Structure 1
């Protein structure tokens, strides 16, 4: 293909597609390359296919959710925040809404709606989209990008955007291509860890508590050096561990610690923030209301019955005993377990189950005002390939769209 391009975008996910669209709207000739046989594979799977696009937090609150490096996003969000994203999709025929006032979805609650609209917009703008094209090398001359080499041919352009994502969900094409491409031109990556994923526990009793979602759980790392690490949200016990929104959010903090220590002790408040004193009063009040109730039945007024049973057993208490018959030491242990249930996170399923990657291209090597490399001119980055990741709730997709939009402005 001999056509001259102003921009080549590598990776047709959320970040890559919007970068291509922005540049094409600015009258640039754009080529979008995707190594899979179709575009938007990971976007299609986002949020179980429902596609939580963004959320309604202010930019300041949004950045805070990404931790100490969140300020890196300021220019991108100032140029393309959640209101801009909603307007953008409205312009290309996608209605959105926020049913809970926070998370924003297409009204169809289908990622297919998003992909179809982006595809149509790219067609209207004349963007060349080539699938089954794996970029194997970035080409450069005189410290300036000059194009890319794929497995079959080379393409020339003075600007290249890397939008290849991370290592999460390799079944959807994630192989860390962007990291190796950037390395060849002098960029570094931080240590990479799987994030937003279920966790496995050493304790096996969790498999008996799989039927129910436990709301408003607080989870903390029970290590003196890392005691500030905590998260809140709904939790689900699994066959071999824990999952649910709170676990998906917290996994990004846990997986580096597992690599470092082998296993990580955590404590969970499963009783909606109640402390030992409040739990003690609650059980006594319930026992007064129903004097024939067993300790298992009393605890079941706080937690689902299977979980109540397991915590009684973990506290060495006969579940059928009355509250008054439970020895003081065992009762104190149960109260402590109800306030802070100890678990040991012992592993995970690696990147194959990770929705996102913690780590990426070092942010100091990227200009936050443009998303352009500070090492080589004409090279830009956007989305998950950079060292920024956030919790569940539309954070990572909004960042992909905002950084892609900024990169697509080509301030070179």
Structure 2
């Protein structure tokens, strides 16, 4: 009989199985795919952003979906514990911008093989290509799992099946079915960290397709026109809408505003100069024009923003790029500056959940004990990773959440047994 069965071989499942097996308990890890750690292999562009070194407060801020739930788990295992874990096992890490931690080798395989080797050392039984069909219940108590070939009894179950994003790695939402079978509430699922779609004419005509804007302020606007959220990062125009880091971070707020405003279309705005006030920008533009009054506008304003963006905004302000500063009306100029500071676009949603990096929604954290990851409905059922209603921005935050909750779930399976 197994003490603990872990369902799912992603980051949280691997860490849960390692943690649960640390005192020699019999642990079984089941994954329906033929390879463990597939999501880790492809994360961070194949380099694997294992965690983030920012302080707790900052990490929680970067996990807008129930990040506060992780506070008590952090007292058992946190981002520094993740760093210490990998470094103690020979994977040296390095810090990059915004606290992101990567293996010095830039190779995700080093991270995955470290976890797999540890499972082997701890004699964890591994079954791949095996699909768990349901939890095994007897008189309302969970006594194991039913797979596509047999029933396997166990004292405790950890569900680490991931969300519904990146389905080719095996996360197709199975865990929600098991959770519901155990009586848990699943909050509405939605895509996060996903490109945003728009039906604006210039998107459809692809005039801006492939244009990348650096360090702009991208906002999702509320009904009253104020920003619900602003992210200052790079963004990219695509053939269907917008993408790039700023857009990915804004995507969940597009969904939330659609729910709040009960309508499909939401307004977003782009500030090309988030560090400058409208009057400072007016001064800057006026100076450029005064310095070269006889040059065409596209030449006198060259380098202010990317050329395609400049020409597009001049056209939006009814200004001909080939005219000189002498011929520009005051209203046209102020309209152009207004567009540089606040160009609005209508968006109508995001790409689907299977195109998203991260799933929003999941098993309600109200039904989970935050310090142990234990179900409040069944004392021998645990949840960890993305199956829970916890979601962060990209940058190592989701993997941090997965490894922390995985470790804590496994650790508490271990202590549960010793205390019984």
User: Where on the TM-score scale, by shorter chain, does this alignment land: which range?
Assistant: over 0.9
Shift of 1:101: 6.4
Counterpart pick for 2:33 among 36, 50, 53: 36
Shift of 1:236: 1.5
Shift of 1:298: 4.0
Shift of 1:204: 4.1
**Separation (CA, whole Å) in 1 of partners of 2:19 and 2:246:** 35
1:45 is the counterpart of 2:45: no
Hey, what does 1:219 align to over in structure 2? 218
* Contact 1:170–1:351 (CA under 8 A) maintained in structure 2: no
* Contact 2:54–2:98 (CA under 8 A) maintained in structure 1: no
1:346 is the counterpart of 2:348: yes
**Separation (CA, whole Å) in 2 of partners of 1:261 and 1:128:** 50
**Separation (CA, whole Å) in 2 of partners of 1:124 and 1:331:** 69
Hey, what does 1:245 align to over in structure 2? 245
1:304 is the counterpart of 2:291: no
Hey, what does 2:321 align to over in structure 1? 319
Hey, what does 2:277 align to over in structure 1? 275
Hey, what does 1:176 align to over in structure 2? 173
Closer, same or farther: CA 80–11 of 1 in aligned 2, 3 Å: same
Shift of 1:341: 1.1
Hey, what does 2:367 align to over in structure 1? 365
**Separation (CA, whole Å) in 1 of partners of 2:191 and 2:277:** 33
**Separation (CA, whole Å) in 1 of partners of 2:374 and 2:3:** 15
**Separation (CA, whole Å) in 2 of partners of 1:313 and 1:363:** 50
Hey, what does 1:190 align to over in structure 2? 187
Closer, same or farther: CA 203–351 of 1 in aligned 2, 3 Å: same
Across the two proteins, how many residue pairs are aligned to each other?
Answer: 409
Query: Secondary structure in 1 aligned to 2:75?
Result: helix
**Separation (CA, whole Å) in 2 of partners of 1:53 and 1:283:** 44
**Separation (CA, whole Å) in 2 of partners of 1:358 and 1:293:** 51
Closer, same or farther: CA 48–130 of 1 in aligned 2, 3 Å: same
Closer, same or farther: CA 53–299 of 1 in aligned 2, 3 Å: farther
**Separation (CA, whole Å) in 1 of partners of 2:351 and 2:246:** 17
Q: Which runs of 5+ in 2 are unaligned?
A: none
Query: Secondary structure in 2 aligned to 1:157?
Result: strand
Hey, what does 1:148 align to over in structure 2? 145
Closer, same or farther: CA 261–101 of 1 in aligned 2, 3 Å: closer
Give the TM-score taking structure 2 as reference length: 0.93
Query: Secondary structure in 1 aligned to 2:407?
Result: helix
* Contact 1:24–1:127 (CA under 8 A) maintained in structure 2: yes
Hey, what does 1:355 align to over in structure 2? 357
Q: Which runs of 5+ in 1 are unaligned?
A: none
Give the TM-score taking structure 1 as reference length: 0.94
Shift of 1:142: 4.7
Query: Secondary structure in 2 aligned to 1:331?
Result: helix
